[in-house]
Amino acid sequence: MIVIWLILILFVGGALAWASEALDSRLPRVTALIAMVFSLILVVMLCLDNSPDPLSPGGQWLILEKWSWIARFDIFMQVGVDGLSLLMLALTVFLGLIATGAAWHEITERPGFFYFNLLWTLAGVVGVFTALDLFLFFFFWEVMLIPMYLIIAIWGHENRAYAAMKFFIFTQVSGLILLVAILCLAYFHFVQFGRFSFDYFELQNVVLEGRFQMLVMLGFFIGFATKLPAFPLHSWLPDAHSQAPTAGSVLLAGVLLKTGAYGLIRFAVPLFPEAAADFAPVAMTIAVIGILYCAKLAFAQTDIKRLIAYTSVSHMGFVLLGVYAWNIYGLQGALMTMLAHGLTSSALFMLAGGLQHRFHTRDMGRMGGLWAKLPLMSAMALFFSIASLGMPGLGNFIGEFLSLLGAFQVNQVATIFAALGLIFASVYSLWVIQRVFHGPYHTPHGGSEPARDLQEPADLSRVELLCYGAMAIGLVWMGMYPQTFLAMAEPTMTFLLESFGEVLP
């Protein structure tokens, strides 16, 4: 029941946050914080008691629960937690706390409705990471999209309506393709076994011919690759990030993108192993193109949020590369990159949001020399930029190194080209630091001194320092003690490789 309680806390907490606005405009953020703290306690309890049930399928599940929901079509309220999903739950709840901190002083308009949407987005993500009935999975997949659309459309910046609609169209169309693929799989189960089923374990027994398996697998791949996002389905992300409020960018980069990668690992390959094996060279090529192309586009940006968004797409290419390498190093690299990227990208978007809040612009040409005026923010920007480029000793290095190591065993040419992305990452990360934080000091109106009607920009607040400090500690922990995370997911990765590894490259 602990998974159901986790989802209910977020759903009910969101409703209470919305209702509490009528009493005091400060109550919604306090209510959201309390809901996130309780959620964190439940996840910590799961982490402390992470002994797999030997009687569960594959022997790697920590929790496996099932209740009847729509009996006519054999649809169940089926949820489960293994090492992989537990790490994703921990990332989700942790970044949910960070997003709450990012919105603490920024969101002043309709705060109750904002925190309602924030918590319901997180509830949908938790459902995605735990659902083992594909109909239930799709239900939560849709639940997390509508609140995020509202967060961008209502609390976003100057071009928020366009960005929100683009986000909705991309995710909704790809979601419908995913739904058709799920229904096809359930229908083939009916044809072969005489009844419909959306059960994850039962659907693994469905046998599809080569062409049909490839078509259905592509439906899953498109749905998940759009959310990842992978080239060429990525164009919604820079607009969504540049227009979203800071907390919305944290959720998008840190949490929602990981649902696409999780779907590839959990569903797209295990349900269609032969088709995944045939498609692996194409997927790895797409990953390499995304890494290099989006790194190149990052150089052309003057909007700091759009630049970070393109770098985010580039780094997520290493996740796609590791998944379709489908060996222990590739999967471990994909996992570590997901975790490290969640912290790094969230921190960088918070920094970009903090700069926009202080200077009322995202144009890097209107910033400069901030190190002398904002030393704490500058130091944090330098740390997370170095983390993003893959400095040894931090989590991103572990993830990208393992992804490349796994990919090299399968496709040496793709690995060599993908490694060029690390060089580009070093260049654009340090270029941003040089352009924004060094050189002559520039104020928002373009002068060297602050205008009389403008105050000196304030450095990081205590809430911001707490958020950045927590994420920095997480990255150092991942870099210095990666086995903490790898050991937690090892039973899941081992089971996947033992069950499906023989048909993949």
Whole-number pLDDT of residue 359: 81
Query: Given this model, what pLDDT does residue 452 score?
Result: 41
Distance from C-alpha of 245 to C-alpha of 190, rounded to nearest angstrom: 45
| pLDDT reported for residue 501 | 62
**Residue at 426 is within a domain:** yes
Classify residue 214: in a domain, yes or no: no
**Cβ-count burial of 232 within 10 angstroms (0-12 exposed, 13-18 middle, 19+ buried)?**
exposed
Is residue 502 classed exposed, middle or buried when 0-12, 13-18 and 19+ CB atoms within 10 A define those classes?
exposed
For residue 377, is it within any domain? yes
Closest by Cα among 145, 144, 197, 193 to 11:
144
Structural domain of 500? 276-505
Identify whether 251 is part of a domain: no
DSSP state letter for 455? P
Is 460 contained in some domain? yes
Asked if residues 192 and 207 have their Cβ atoms less than 8 Å apart, the reply is yes
Ranges of residues in the chain with a pLDDT under 70 are 55, 442-455, 500-505
pLDDT at position 448 is 47
Helices (H), 79-159: 83-103, 111-130, 134-143, 145-155
Residue 3 belongs to a domain: no
Q: Is 459 domain-assigned?
A: yes
The pair of three-digit structure tokens given for residue 12, joined into one six-digit string: 């009910």
- Range 437-470 burial, b when 16+ CB lie within 10 A, else e: beeebbbbeeeeeeeeeeeebebbeeebeebbee
Number of domains in the chain: 1
